[in-house]
Structure 1
Amino acid sequence: MIGGLVAIGTLLVAGLIGVLLRRRDGRVRTKNTATVPDDVRAVLDPRAEVTLVQLSTTFCAPCRHARVILADLADKTDGLAHADIDLTDRPELAQRLAVLRTPTTLAVDSQGAEILRVGGVPRRESLLAALRPHLSA
């Protein structure tokens, strides 16, 4: 009897954690305008108002999906560019950027300030809505 109750309790806790994690996935969070490290500044497109910097790892399946969304969004939006940084062999950069999961997308303005970040696969419409104030077009 007690084993059954423990199993049911465990399933409820695991289900609640799953729901909470799913709700956070792809949510746009605005950041303070801290300047990003030089490793990130090196990949910024100097012609773009905002560069979407995707932080990925080699064996990350959701990273491929995020790459398709971000590249397409950058291709179809004036003033927006997309770059990718592989963190597989760069744990020190992941630590400096406080990246806890991949994919993580940073939106960085032309001065190198992080304006927002998305953990997980970004939701196209909410990301675009958050970027509009930072794009002139």
Structure 2
Amino acid sequence: MTEELTEARRAIFSGSTFEEQIGYARAVVDGDWVHVSGTTGFDYATMTISDDVVEQAEQSLRNVGTALTEAGCTFADVVRVRYLLPDRADFEPCWPTLRRCFGEIRPAATMLVCGLSDPRMRFEIEVYARLRRAVAM
């Protein structure tokens, strides 16, 4: 669900209960930029999350992909990625999943080891994308 904020800025919501409880949007389109909030491996339809870090990474990417599509872009438009994990040992098992998504795109990326808001969360991703607009001739 998208909510218009201004002509150049709009919010995209996933239906996650966290968005309403905390007060944020899954993504914000601001001009040509798409800012996707930190996104974990929750399945928003059921509000469940796998115990497996790779499955969490895969679901996180599905969640991000949905937001990007609603914003009018794809993973090919991603220019910056931040990975957040409570345990650095969990990062390497996710590499094949991340490479399948970003291997050809090669966005700038950072991985941070930090606490996440729910102990079930083992992987979180935040992305920035730039909309590619057709040039009028």
Range of TM-score over shorter length: 0.3 to 0.5
Question: Which of these two proteins has the greater Rg computed from alpha carbons?
Answer: 1
Higher relative contact order (CA 8 A, sep 6+): 1
Which structure is higher in helix share? Answer: 1
Q: TM-score scaled to structure 2, two decimals?
A: 0.33
Quick check: which one's strand share is greater? 2
